[in-house]
């Protein structure tokens, strides 16, 4: 149990009518919760604001979700921030996002330090603009000694690219003679993914109601439970997290076997 009971109760004070801390079993919090943060643009346009404002508000929501995950004692929180397909958006939006990623990492360093959060990136960050990469490298160093929750940020991430990359690395090891073909099993593949060493997500949350995976963690979500909410990401908060966890705890996870009951 890694959570601090006093901080946890305080964090969830003043609950809305439909959900409270009492609705979840603190002994069965998913170890790894993953968020597909979708709907920033629609949140903004529905208010007559620019998409940039939506992304800014999305960062505010992410901050709340990070703190909430820490309070709940989650081991890994991952979040899909930018897909390999998102390069296809207008250049201005891509630029805005790259700038916001760098700015946010710097702005949130005090939070990451205070909460002892270690950051890892999922995806090919070598393809990001130099300025963003420099900030990421600086930020990663600043938090590398942290021992608390892992925050895995998927930036320039695509599951198909990840699997192709794993296949390439494995093939290189085979041709170099350091890996036998017969030793390529599920663990060997998992070890070559960006998520190597992390548990698979038990719970995947997608906001804005879309019923799709959008090239996210295809290998790792083999047995994840999905929770889809109509809320746009900027409207998602700690109560949304509790609702998702409560729904997760009511699922009958069979893993291909038979129900435990």
Q: Is 162 in the site for ligand IPE (CB under 6 A)?
A: no
**Taking contact as CB under 6 A, which single stretch among the options 25-33, 40-48, 101-109, 217-225 is the one that binds ligand IPE?**
40-48
113: CB partners within 8 A, 6+ apart: 142, 143, 146
Selection from Mg ion, ligand IPE, none that 116 binds (CB < 5 to 8 A by kind) is: none
- List the structure tokens of 200: 């698979």
Residues 221-250 close enough to bind ligand IPE by CB under 6 A:
233
* Binds Mg ion (CB under 5 A): choice among 24, 33, 34, 38: 38
Query: Could you confirm whether 64 is annotated as catalytic?
Result: no
Query: Could you confirm whether 38 is annotated as catalytic?
Result: yes
**Calpha distance 100→105 (Å, rounded):** 8
Selection from Mg ion, ligand IPE, none that 86 binds (CB < 5 to 8 A by kind) is: ligand IPE
**Taking contact as CB under 5 A, which single stretch among the options 37-45, 77-85, 106-114, 132-140 is the one that binds Mg ion?**
37-45
139: CB partners within 8 A, 6+ apart: 105, 106, 109, 112, 119
* Binds ligand IPE (CB under 6 A): choice among 34, 57, 68, 83: 83
**Taking contact as CB under 5 A, which single stretch among the options 34-42, 45-53, 86-94, 179-187 is the one that binds Mg ion?**
34-42
Active-site residue, selected from the candidate residues 6, 23, 75, 86: 86
**Calpha distance 129→136 (Å, rounded):** 11
User: Least distance (Å) from Mg ion to the CB of residue 66?
Assistant: 20
Selection from Mg ion, ligand IPE, none that 83 binds (CB < 5 to 8 A by kind) is: ligand IPE
* Binds ligand IPE (CB under 6 A): choice among 19, 32, 40, 241: 40
**Residues lying near ligand IPE in the complex (CB under 6 A):** 36-42, 80-83, 86, 97, 208, 210, 212, 214, 233
**Residues lying near Mg ion in the complex (CB under 5 A):** 38
Annotated catalytic residues are: 38, 86
């Amino acid at each position: 149990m890694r959570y601090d009971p006093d901080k946890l109760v305080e964090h969830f004070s003043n609950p809305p009518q439909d959900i409270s801390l009492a609705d979840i079993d603190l002994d069965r919090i998913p170890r790894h919760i993953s968020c597909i943060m979708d709907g920033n643009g629609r949140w903004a346009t529905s208010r007559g604001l620019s998409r940039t404002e939506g992304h800014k508000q999305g960062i505010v929501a992410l901050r709340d979700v990070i703190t909430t995950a820490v309070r709940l004692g989650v081991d890994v929180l991952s979040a899909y921030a930018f897909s390999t397909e998102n390069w296809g958006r207008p250049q201005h939006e891509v630029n805005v996002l790259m700038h916001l990623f760098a700015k946010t990492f710097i702005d949130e360093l005090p939070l990451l330090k205070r909460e002892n959060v270690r950051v890892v990136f999922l995806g090919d960050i070598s393809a990001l603009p130099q300025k963003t990469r420099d900030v990421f490298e600086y930020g990663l160093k600043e938090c590398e000694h942290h021992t608390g929750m892992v925050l895995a940020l998927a930036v320039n991430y695509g599951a198909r690219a990840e699997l192709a990359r794993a296949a390439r690395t494995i093939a290189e090891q085979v041709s170099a003679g350091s890996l036998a073909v017969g030793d390529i099993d599920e663990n060997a593949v998992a070890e070559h993914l960006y998520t190597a060493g992390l548990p698979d997500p038990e719970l995947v949350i997608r906001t804005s109601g879309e019923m799709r995976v959008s090239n996210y963690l295809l290998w790792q979500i083999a047995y994840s439970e999905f929770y889809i909410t109509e809320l746009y990401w900027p409207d998602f908060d700690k109560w949304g997290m509790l609702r998702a966890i409560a729904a997760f705890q009511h699922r009958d996870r069979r893993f291909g076997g038979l129900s435990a009951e």
